Amino acid sequence: MQDPLPVYPVSHAGGVRIFLEDGTALIDGMSSWWSAIHGYRHPVLDAAVKAQLDKMAHVMFGGLTHEPAVELGKLLVQLTPPGLDQVFFSDSGSVSVEVAIKLALQYWIAAGQSGKNRLLTVRKGYHGDTFAAMAVCDPVTGMHHLFNEVLTRQLFVSEPQTAFGSPCAAGELDGMRATLASHHQQIAAIILEPIVQGAGRMYFYSADYLRQVRALCDEFNVLLIADEIATGFGRSGKLFACEHAGISPDILCVGKALTGGYLTLAATLCTGQVSRMISRNGGVLMHGPTFMANPLACAVAVASIKLLVNSPWQQRIAAIEAQLHSELLPCLDSAKVAAVRVLGAIGVVEMKEPVAMAPAQRFFVEHGVWIRPFGKLVYLMPPYLVSPDDLRKLTSAIHQFVQ
């Protein structure tokens, strides 16, 4: 409140552009926090919301059901990694992580092993802003250090170091193996972001690392929770980032792009084994959001997923990746830049020093783009339908900024 960042009033948006009240048009490089993968006011998604609104905006999802939720559940089971055939809808990504953690804890309670009640994760991770989610974010870099004294104490090991595309370095998972060996009787699940560590680091790590984590979970009888809230629905070049490693988690979280950025909705999927264990002796998952499976959100999510899978999305992502790579790599010529990373429709320029947010925000707006850095990172996650010309304007603005 004492040193506020600039705030820009928006009048409307369309395609890949956000229009401010003063008439300024900004090319969106953020997909509104990674969710608006089809851009704004897409006619197919607009029509889905309008059609559903003529039927009902909301009805409770307790003792009642509706076609948009049923169809969405079927789509998610069909498209996510094999074995994830149970779906629980919630309101946001953070809540989907809460649900995932509850699933893991209730699984072991139902199995008669209530002592397995801790989570193991890697440093530099980010899983959301609610309390259980905060407890598995990095306690130093995870934006929640003010709450460290009141959060549940979870177990952390070093973050992955081997970059995407390379085999995992020998001994890289020794710390995780040692922690599992010492504490597996207390550990309910490992939770991590597959392949892409998002808001905590913007780092793309080896698929081999993820395969070895899956194997360790099986070896030590621990569940694996994959947080695909940021990576789901094509962002990494695969429909889901777990596909890079060819693994299936026991529990999967999705959100953000689920509705194409139209309405808040998330889902937590799990295997039949997890669901059946929790349901033993009349058990139910102890969670029930008021707006669970909201019909408007489910209807637009169905439309968004169909729009994505029926489009040449792989070619689009590959083209964005190639352009980001060729146009961001020259940023390394700047003495201010530490690294450049690209994977799928994600481009990251890591600075050597933290970015001063207020002047950076003004700089990008003055250059006609919407880019919002954090920490040392200046990054792009544009809508998938961004044109080469518009993407070039985004990368050019970053190149000018880092000089």
Burial grade of 154 (CB within 10 A; 0-12, 13-18, 19 or more): middle
What pTM, to 2 d.p., does this model score? 0.96
Q: Are strands 10-14 and 17-20 parallel, antiparallel or unpaired?
A: antiparallel
CB of 161 closer than 8 Å to CB of 172: yes
Q: What was the pLDDT predicted at 144?
A: 66
Helices (H), 192-310: 207-220, 272-278, 295-309
pLDDT in the model for residue 142: 62
User: What are the pLDDT tens digits along the chain (403 aa)?
Assistant: 677 888 999 999 999 999 999 999 999 999 999 999 999 999 999 999 999 999 999 999 999 999 999 999 999 999 999 999 999 999 999 999 999 999 999 999 999 999 999 999 999 999 999 999 999 998 876 666 788 888 889 999 999 999 999 999 999 999 999 999 999 999 999 999 999 999 989 999 999 999 999 999 999 999 999 999 999 999 999 999 999 999 999 999 999 999 999 999 999 999 999 999 999 878 899 898 999 999 999 999 999 999 999 999 999 999 999 999 999 999 999 999 999 999 999 999 999 999 999 999 999 999 999 999 999 999 999 999 999 999 999 999 999 999 9
Would you state the pLDDT for residue 11? 98
Quick one: pLDDT at residue 143? 65
CATH tag, 10-34+312-402: 3.90.1150.10
What's the pLDDT at 147? Answer: 85
Q: Which residue ranges make up each domain of the chain?
A: 10-34+312-402, 49-309
**Burial of 349 from C-beta contacts in 10 A (0-12 / 13-18 / 19+):** buried
Architecture, CATH, for domain 49-309: 3-Layer(aba) Sandwich (3.40)
| Dihedral sign computed on CA atoms, order 39, 297, 238, 377 | positive
pLDDT of res. 367:
98
Three-state helix/strand/coil letters over 198-232? CCCCCEEECHHHHHHHHHHHHHHCCEEEEECCCCC
CB 72, CB 298: distance < 8 Å: yes
Burial class (CB in 10 A: 0-12, 13-18, 19+), 243: middle
Which structure tokens are listed for 298?
């489910």
Residue 366 buriedness (CB in 10 A; 0-12 / 13-18 / 19+): exposed
Cβ atoms of 167 and 200 within 8 Å: the answer is no
139: CB partners within 8 A, 6+ apart: 145, 148, 151, 156
d(CA 185, CA 68): 41
Give the list of residues 6+ apart from residue 158 with CB closer than 8 angstroms, or none: 122, 123, 175
- Radius of gyration over every alpha carbon of the chain, rounded to an integer in angstroms: 21
Tell me how many degrees the CA angle 194-199-201 measures, rounded to the nearest 5.
75
From the CB of residue 53, how many other CB atoms can be counted at a distance below 10 Å?
A: 12
